[in-house]
Chain A
Amino acid sequence: MSLDPVKIGFIPLVDAAIPIIAADVGFAAEEGIALELVREVSWANIRDRLTLGHFDGAHLLAPIAIATTLGLGTVKVPLAAPLALGLNGNAVTVSPPLFEDIRRHMAPGARMADPSATGAAFKAVVEERRRNGDEPPTLGMTFPFSTHNYQLRLWLAAAGVEPDEDVRLAVVPPPFMVDALENAHVEGFCVGAPWNSVAVEYKLGRILHFGVDLVRRCPEKVLAVRAHWLERNPELAARLVRACVRAADWLDEPNNREEAARRLAAPNRLDVHAPIIQRALDGRLATGDGDEVRVSASYILFGADGATRPDQRHARWLHAQMVRWRQASDDPAGADLAAASYRSDVYDAALGRAAPPEADDPLGVFTG
């Protein structure tokens, strides 16, 4: 039997694990798909190559899929997300001096894992610098339309720090993030795995927050395809969804983690030391603050807890972040379009499952 070719672009990040495992462990082949993965260097490239038809699908930041569907910051091309590539996986890392500055301003008895407490302390740092006539801190994030941008803004705004006035937010591509910290272009950042652990490993940064401290179930990457492609290839898309869901379930099995880390570490995949990748898979991350290791069972979610099912409320929340930060106009039609691009119907049909009952709070956003 000949396999149907499907070409997917990805950025070297741990949350590209689902398509990588689907291709490299054989789940795609079992569904009759020859899955070709193409490593890309920038989100703008991957978006453009998807919209132009060079790729059939892409490992894409969920907000970019929505922004492209709405024509924000790019040519308008309707995209569809028949699958979420898991949830969570980000962390906020700051330089050791900034970490100590924040600690110095913590209220007595407050915990460093409490984003309200660290936010208040960070605000005090910002105000202290302003009084001294020093530059405001610059924080790195990966793309204007990214959860990293929105998570940082959430943390800042809840503490009364105006993200567009009191600090600087700069786009830094993930592979340059640690570099940017080293040469003091940024003093902290929000990025996905493995880059927080890489900064810790080089003693250039300390993890201040896991993404889950800010949003308990945060949409992150989706498998994005052109809406037109989905219409023309419904059966192939269903097989792709099934292959990816099986890969996600495989990733959830603790016994597979070492192999998963080794496969992701390959030169043509992430090209990062396997043990550092495994920290994210295990949800056991050295924070760089002494010998502290923080553990979270939901640091990054692949198959568990319905993490691969595209939840339209996630799309609405992302659209609301775009409206809040003036990237999109406050238009109910835009929110509806964003929600409609999350194809939970395609996902459910591919797996032959009925739509599950929806949790009351799909996100668990920290509110300060």
Chain B
Amino acid sequence: MPDRDRPLKIVLIDASPVRAAIMEQGLRDAGHTTIMRIADHVNLLARIYAIDPDVILIDLENPSRDVLEQMFQVSRAVRRPVGMFVDQSDSASIEAAIDAGVSAYVVDGLKRERVQPILETTISRFRAFAKLRAELEQAKSQLEERKTVDRAKGILMRAKKIDEDEAYALLRKVAMNEKKKIVEIAQSVITAAELLA
């Protein structure tokens, strides 16, 4: 995510010139100047990669939304906050969606003064979700680390006929001596055991 000092680079995907003009004016009113509009759907993904925007705003009635889904699939791509808006008042039903996850849905996009809130919601939702995902990843890797340490302890216990606490103390001592993480030493133990097996 960009810091506050650098202007946000915003891509606006909308086939309707009128709606796009209103959106763009709303963004400019809110002080954003780096706005790129994509009106047609040709080679959309490549163009987004080339622009490398901070935020993408797309009209919910635009089939190209599915193209953005592919962006979330390919590893080389970094996720970007995507905000979606509709300009009809099917609003009540879509409002619930704002709390639903990655994407923000915002209604009444046709009002200039509503554009900045769309942008803010999009970014804050994205941050919240990114944080959640990072925490999940961290929990996952901690679990993996614990499994590795447990396996190494088991190997040491069998090889040296020591108990679990002693095995752990041994791993920790070697880690401290070698200025490495316990999980790294544990991995070496496992690798060595596999080589010697």
**Interface residues, chain A, CB within 8 Å of chain B?**
41-45, 48, 51-54, 73-75, 142-144, 170-176, 179-180, 183, 185, 327
Chain B residues in 8 Å Cβ range of A179: 41-42
Cα–Cα distance between A185 and B103 once the two chains are bound (Å):
27
A183 touches B42 (CB 8 A): yes
- Residue in chain B with minimal CB distance to A171: B70
Contact of B66 among A42, A52, A74, A185 (CB under 8 A): A42
Does B62 reach chain A (CB closer than 8 Å)?
A: yes
Tell which of B41, B45, B67, B100 touches A52, judged by Cβ atoms closer than 8 Å: B100
Flag if B94 contacts A44 (CB, 8 Å): no
Whole-angstrom distance between the Cβ of B98 and the nearest chain A Cβ: 10
Query: CA A54 – CA B67 in complex, angstroms?
Result: 23
Select from chain A the residue with minimum beta-carbon distance to B101: A75
Interface range for B: 20 to 34
Identify 7 residue pairs between A and B in the complex whose beta-carbon atoms are under 8 Å apart, listed by A's number.
A43-B66, A52-B93, A52-B100, A173-B41, A176-B41, A179-B41, A185-B43
B61 contact set on A, CB distance < 8 A: 41
Complex contacts, B69 vs chain A, CB 8 Å: 43-44, 73, 143-144, 171
Q: Which residues of chain B are near A143, meaning CB under 8 Å?
A: 66, 69-70
Kindly state the separation between the CA atoms of A171 and B46 in the bound complex, as whole angstroms. 12
B residues engaging A (CB < 8 A)? 41-43, 45, 60-70, 72-73, 93-94, 96-97, 100-103, 105
11 A-B pairs besides A41-B63, A173-B63, A179-B41 with CB distance below 8 A are A42-B62, A42-B66, A44-B66, A48-B100, A52-B96, A54-B94, A74-B101, A170-B45, A174-B63, A175-B63, A176-B64
Q: Which chain B residues border A175 with CB–CB below 8 Å?
A: 63
Within 8 Å CB of B100, what residues of A?
A: 48, 51-52, 75
* CB contact between A144 and one of B62, B64, B73, B103 (< 8 Å): that residue: B73
List chain A residues, Cβ under 8 A from B73.
73, 144, 327
Closest to A44 in B: B65
For residue B94, which residue of chain A has the nearest CB? A54
Q: Which of B65, B68, B102 has the most CB of A within 10 A?
A: B65
Q: Which 10 A-B pairs have the closest CB atoms?
A: A173-B63, A75-B101, A171-B70, A42-B65, A144-B73, A41-B63, A42-B66, A44-B65, A54-B93, A42-B63
Contacts of B94 in A (CB 8 A): 54
Which residues does chain B contribute within 8 Å of A171, judged by CB atoms?
Answer: 45, 66-67, 69-70
Known: A180-B42, A183-B42. A172 touches B67 (CB 8 A): yes
Q: Assess the A73–B72 pair: CB atoms within 8 A.
A: yes
Residues from chain A with a CB closer than 8 A to the CB of B103 are 48
By the criterion CB–CB under 8 Å, are A170 and B70 in contact? yes
Rounded to whole Å, the gap between the CB of B148 and the closest CB of chain A is 18
